Amino acid sequence: MTRCQNPFQGFGLGLRPQHFPDILGPAGAEATAGVDWFEIISENFIAVGGMPRRNLMAVRNSRPMAMHGVSLSIGAPDPLDAAYLKGLKDLVDLIEPAVVSDHLCWTGAHGVNLHDLLPLPLTEETLDHVAARVIQVQDVLGRRIVLENASTYVTFTADTMSEWDFLAELTRRADCDLLLDVNNVYVSAFNHGFDPADYLAGIPADRVRQIHLAGHEHNGDHIVDTHDAPVADPVWDLYRRAVCKFGAVPTMIERDANIPPFADLVDELDQARRLAAQALDGAAA
């Protein structure tokens, strides 16, 4: 399976409807000067026309774009949703994204979407199941997909491997790539008591195509991935370590609630750019 040939580098933001006036307004060129690319939530634009489609294409005409889904349900027991895959393929053909991603999870069963990213038992049986479904999706789309590590709050007694070992083997069997969500690594490490450095060490560097950063809610004895706050300091520290291992991977910030002014997100993205440059300079020294 070939990689996308579109250039994809630098630092991006998740594209949200609140951003369109800033991006497409008279000062759009100045407002977006610090944003190298945008990532859309795929489901927001599948089979959508009118003004949302026109806004999408106006942004796409000025920046590279990535697609990030929440409904693939790659680990579910039900057959893959053919109608959803067709809509996804149509959107891929329209905007020619650099990356098409979703999550290592399941989101429902028996035709019911629970609208949550639910964890999988980390077993050989699950690995076989997910790898076969990834290959099926890639055959439909005609390209590699990129799977993200989701934040998790429970584990299974049936687990026989770590999540990082599962992901590493999945990329080998299915020839897919990885979206490393650094915040999710931190959240899951805290919730389950493992060392996030072990997670980074177990991920194959040549498979990491994109990095996500986001905020979370710390509740003392557990952390919830909320995407409603700035990136926390421990996540920034872990991001530095990730850059030291994986290099200059395209990085973006997700914000889905309590969305601040667009300029504030651009400032936060500049922090990611500065930290990455420092990490790369240190690694080269």
Provide the pLDDT for residue 279. Answer: 96
Say which CATH class 11-284 falls into: alpha beta
Residue of 119, 102, 104 lying closest to 153 (CA atoms): 119
Write out the DSSP string of 42-82.
Answer: GGGTTT--HHHHHHHHHHHTTS-EEEE-S---TT-SSPP-H
Give the pLDDT band of residue 284 (cuts 50, 70, 90).
low
Q: Is the pLDDT of residue 285 over 70?
A: no
Q: Is the pLDDT of residue 38 over 60?
A: yes
Q: Is the pLDDT of residue 161 over 80?
A: yes
Show the CA angle centred on residue 28, arms to residues 26 and 32, nearest 5°: 165
Q: Is the pLDDT of residue 59 over 60?
A: yes
Provide the pLDDT for residue 7. Answer: 58
Q: Is the pLDDT of residue 101 over 60?
A: yes
Q: What is the mean pLDDT of residues 160-186?
A: 98
Percent of the chain with pLDDT over 70: 97
Provide the pLDDT for residue 6. Answer: 45
Q: What is the mean pLDDT of residues 65-85?
A: 97
Residue 66 — φ and ψ, nearest 5°?
Answer: -120, 150
Question: Long-range pairs for 54-57 at CB < 8 Å and ≥24 separation?
Answer: 55/20, 55/24, 56/15, 56/95, 57/94, 57/95
Provide the pLDDT for residue 282. Answer: 84
Provide the pLDDT for residue 110. Answer: 83
Provide the pLDDT for residue 5. Answer: 40
CB distance 63 to 34 below 8 Å: no
CB distance 153 to 191 below 8 Å: yes
Give the pLDDT band of residue 91 (cuts 50, 70, 90).
very high
Q: Is the pLDDT of residue 4 over 50?
A: no
Provide the pLDDT for residue 2. Answer: 36
CA distances from 138 to 89, 181, 247 (A): 10, 21, 26
Q: What is the mean pLDDT of residues 30-58?
A: 96
Q: What is the mean pLDDT of residues 41-51?
A: 96
Q: What is the mean pLDDT of residues 161-174?
A: 98
Q: Is the pLDDT of residue 190 over 80?
A: yes
Domain boundaries, the chain: 11-284
Show the CA angle centred on residue 128, arms to residues 169 and 183, nearest 5°: 50
Q: Is the pLDDT of residue 3 over 60?
A: no
User: What predicted TM-score, i.e. pTM, was given to this entire model?
Assistant: 0.95
Q: What is the mean pLDDT of residues 100-118?
A: 90
Provide the mean pLDDT of the chain: 95
Give the pLDDT band of residue 1 (cuts 50, 70, 90).
very low
Q: Is the pLDDT of residue 283 over 90?
A: no
